[in-house]
Amino acid sequence: DDEHGWSDNGIANFENGCYAKLINLRADKEPEIWNAVLHEAHYLEHGAIVENALMYPDGTFDLDDARLTPNSRASYPLSFLTNIKPSSRSGHPKTILFLTADANGVLPPVAKLTPEQAMLWFLMGYTSKLAGTETGIVDPVSTFSRFFGEPFMPRNPDVYARMLGERMQKHGTRVYLINTGWSGGPFGVGKRMDINLTREIVNCALCGRLEEMEYVEDPLFHILIPKRCPSVPPEVLLPRNTWADKEAYDVRARKLAHEFSARFDKVYGNKNIDPAVARQCPGK
């Protein structure tokens, strides 16, 4: 479910299964994962693999128990899901979603990106390491992994950024940044974005309804924020509005923007990045 490629012939998926987190899994929130992992079947025919989850002697699981680790996982083939595309190949994408989990609570739940902005955010690969992602991570930590998968991208960064921009322009592909992190404050103060709200946003992005919206540019992060989105409370779209302490928001936002700028200068300062792309870096 992670690795995809985009060639001159379209996109293709490299994998044939999913590796899902189980901590706090709920049937009403994520029914596809729940049914794929916990459907009833003979043990020789079941097919799902569960690891690091608390299991009682009678074979039932407690997916809320994180005493030993929050990194409980399940593996299962794509055929266990109901909404899959049988072929692993498709045409050129009309919409691309960049997923990030902003533990600082300063990014909007959705933002539209111009080609230059998309190339910049693709380069930076910003997200937060969450508990259960790596050993030793208890509280979320800001991290940058270029192209959202640095170990798998061996060529110079300007090559991949340019390839993305060229394909976006050639095929008219739109890109949105989807933030599944925190709102109303950073981790420990704010609340995690509700998954149902995220689903509404994703649906609007994929069906083209976000293209009809009016946008305002965030001058610090250089992203385009919609003034409204169907089924989403308008106050949630502008993250500063969700913070009780507006000054605290400004401080935290500037801090993250500085981290972006410092990271860009350190990693990409001499990598021949197009100046038009470099100008889209937060904090610049």
Could you tell me where the beta strands, DSSP code E, fall in 27-134? 49-51, 54-55, 61-62, 73-77, 89-90, 95-100, 110-113, 126-129
pLDDT > 90? residue 197:
yes
pLDDT digits (tens, 9 = 90+) for 267-279: 999 998 999 999 9
Give pLDDT, residue 125. 94
Alpha-carbon distance of 79 to 1, in angstroms, equals 12
Determine the pLDDT at residue 134: 61
What are the CA-CA distances from residue 74 to residues 33, 148, 190, 193 (Å)?
9, 22, 28, 23
Average pLDDT over residues 230-250: 94
Q: Can you give the pLDDT at residue 132?
A: 56
Residue 129 contacts residue 140 (beta carbons within 8 Å): yes
In tens, the pLDDT along 22-37 reads 999 999 999 999 999 9
Taking 80 as the threshold, does the pLDDT of residue 242 lie above it?
A: yes
Distance CA 63, CA 76 (A): 17
Give the pLDDT of residue 142. Answer: 84
Q: What is the mean pLDDT of residues 27-56?
A: 94
Half-sphere exposure for 182 (CA within 13 Å, toward CB)? 23
* Residue 257 predicted with pLDDT over 80: yes
Report the relative pairing of strands 95-100 and 174-179 from DSSP bridges.
parallel
Query: Looking at residues 66-95, what average pLDDT do you find?
Result: 91
Which pLDDT does position 14 carry in this prediction? 84
Return the number of other C-beta atoms located less than 10 Å from residue 121's C-beta: 24
Residue 139 binned pLDDT confidence (cut-offs 50, 70, 90): low
Q: What angle do CA 89, 101, 146 make, to 5 degrees?
A: 60
Record the pTM. 0.82
pLDDT > 90: what percent of the chain? 79
SS (H, E, C) 134-156: ECCCCCCEEEECHHHCHHHCCCC
For the chain, give the mean pLDDT.
92
Strand order in the sheet with 89-90: 4-7, 10-13, 89-90
Per-residue pLDDT for 221 more than 90?
yes
Higher pLDDT, 138 or 244: 244
Instruction: Give the pLDDT of residue 152.
Output: 78
Q: Is the confidence at residue 138, as pLDDT, over 70?
A: no
DSSP 131: B
The dihedral formed by the CA atoms of 34, 35, 40 and 44, expressed in degrees to the nearest 10: -90
Question: What domains are defined for the chain?
Answer: 13-80 (2.170.8.10), 95-278 (3.90.228.20)
Number of other CB atoms surrounding residue 237 within 10 Å = 21
97-135 confidence digits (pLDDT tens): 999 999 999 999 999 999 999 999 999 999 987 765 566
